[in-house]
Amino acid sequence: MKKKLLTLIACCALLASCSSNKSSQSEKEETLKVSTENVELTDSAFFAQTRILPLETTDASLVQSINAICMAGDTLFLLDNRQQKIFIFDGNGKFINAIHDIGNGPKEYVALSDISIQNGLLAVLCNRPYKIMYYSYDGQFVKERNVSDYFRNFATTDRYTYYYSTAPLGKRIFNIYDEQNGTEKQIPFPDGKYMGAEAQEEGTIYRVSAGRQITEGHSVLFTWPFDYTIYKADNGEVKALYTIDFGERTLPKELLEQPMNVFEFTQLCAKEGYVHTIEDMVENEDYLIFKTNPWIFLIDKQERAVKPCSFIRVTEFMGGGSNDYLAVKGTDMLAQSYPPFFFKGLMRNVIAQNLLPHNELADQFARVYKELKDEDNPVLLLFQLPRK
């Protein structure tokens, strides 16, 4: 597996260099081996800051799902794919506005894919029709431009827009649009692995994860399904950054060649502890957190160590936790969303056992618990990576 991956990356670097005057052949990814030492992720034990953010509930701000989060200063943007809406809240969770411009004409969309922050505007990637719509931070339409094709997700910097998608039979699509020159190029990645390796019909499964394989914060990072390499997009170029050696958690390549459906495949990976995809990366100068199907992993960049984490514990005083989260685009934070009934259940146990300490964070949790109703919007927990 490791040898095959390294061969794949070498081919990718060669092809990418042909499409650019700037050679990337000298950029070699670093292989990092997963440690046997587990690390616990809680507010005071690891994260620099933990914030609790109850989202104001009004008739206009009823959130059904949170599929992407980005932040600009003290303004929070939530993409709700079920409703095809974008909700805007301030840093205290107060509702500002919602974007719901459904239609087939200019200044309208049928379906949304992703959101980002670019040059002081909220950028919204639409997959019907193919375009990007730009809004002010209070949700007012500013402008739009057409996009060359369907893309699942995107990431942005001031100058570049990086388009990402996967397609049947392992096809990898990564385009880079130069906002300054108005030009677009495609990085020619070789096809990747997919389920049913002998199948040739369209629709052969390449993606079995609901996570995000491209994220932006300290830098733009992306991965591919069934691949253990983390790539970095920088200044209009792409290079392989890290390849992770998962040891006994490595997915046996022969599993992808067996006739299994998605449910059977994911159940087998869960049972055996196999990692199939790296996703939802959050990083700063010192740390990088990423998620896989069974585990969360932490990279210490100085130690060059990769450590597994079972889950993110809500706080030291609350026993619950989750291995699911969303990367907050444009920051070094990750977010977890808790339905009111679940959050209240955790707090009820803490209070009943008299385990609630006397500190600022605990006081905030207690205040939210007291005011929260079962029909309210989700409670967000924001965790910020520390710095050394």
Condensed to tens digits (0 to 9), the pLDDT of residues 126-141 reads 999 999 999 999 999 9
Confidence of residue 198 (pLDDT cuts 50, 70, 90): low
- pLDDT reported for residue 28: 62
The single-letter code of the amino acid at 293 is N
Supply the pLDDT for residue 26.
Answer: 35
- What's the DSSP call for residue 211? S
Q: Is the pLDDT of residue 5 over 60?
A: no
2 pLDDT above the threshold of 70: no
How far apart (Å, rounded) are the C-alpha atoms in residues 282 and 288? 6
Q: CA–CA separation, 203 vs 3, rounded Å?
A: 28
**What does the mean pLDDT of the chain come to?**
89
Please give the structure tokens belonging to residue 10.
Answer: 């070498």
Task: Give, in order, the Cα–Cα distances in Å from 139 to each of 101, 117, 209.
Answer: 11, 13, 31
Query: Residue 357: what pLDDT?
Result: 87
**Is the pLDDT score of 65 beyond 50?**
yes
Please tell me what DSSP assigns to residue 20.
Answer: -
Mean pLDDT of 117-129: 96
Q: Which residue type sits at 41? A: L
- Condensed to tens digits (0 to 9), the pLDDT of residues 286-340 reads 999 999 998 999 999 999 999 999 888 878 787 777 889 999 999 999 999 999 9
Q: What is the pLDDT of residues 199-218, one digit of tens each?
A: 667 778 888 988 999 999 88
> What's the residue count for the chain?
388
Q: Collect all residues with Cβ–Cβ distance below 8 Å to 266 and sequence separation of at least 6.
A: 208, 293
- Split at pLDDT 50, 70, 90, the class of 112 is very high
Furthest CA-CA distance within the chain: 65
pLDDT of residue 55 exceeding 80, the answer is yes
**Buried/exposed 153-192: b ≥16 CB within 10 Å, e otherwise:** bbbbbeebbbbbbbbebbebbbbbbeeeeeeeeebebeeb
Range of the domain at 280: 2-384
pLDDT at 25 (0 to 100): 32
The pLDDT of residue 3 is above 70: no
Helix (H, G, I), strand (E, B) or coil at 4: helix
Rounded to whole angstroms, how far apart are CA atoms 98 and 286?
35
Q: What is the predicted pLDDT for the residue at 322?
A: 82
Report field, pTM of the whole predicted structure over 0.95: no
Answer whether 276's CB lies under 8 Å from 293's CB.
yes
d(CA 122, CA 378): 23
- pLDDT at position 4 is 39
| pLDDT confidence of residue 316 | 77
Q: Which two tokens stand for residue 53?
A: 């953010």
Q: What percent of the chain has pLDDT over 70?
A: 91
Distance of alpha carbon 18 from alpha carbon 4, whole angstroms = 22
Residues 139-188 pLDDT 10s: 999 999 999 999 999 999 999 999 999 998 899 999 999 999 999 999 99
Residue 13 has pLDDT above 60, yes or no: no
pLDDT of res. 29: 77
Task: Round to whole Å and give the CA distance between 57 and 75.
Answer: 17
Instruction: Give the count of domains, the chain.
Output: 1
Coil, helix or strand at residue 112:
strand
Residue 375 has pLDDT above 90, yes or no: yes
Which token pair is 51?
A: 């914030």
Residue type, 378: P
CATH number, domain at 355?
Answer: 2.120.10.30
**Residue 57 contacts residue 339 (beta carbons within 8 Å):** no
Looking only at the bridges linking them, the beta strands covering 49-54 and 379-384 are antiparallel
**pLDDT at residue 318 in the model:** 79
Give the pLDDT confidence score for residue 41 in this predicted structure: 85
More confident residue, 237 or 29: 237
On whether the CB atoms of residues 111 and 60 are closer than 8 A, the answer is no
The two tokens of residue 259 are 């006739």
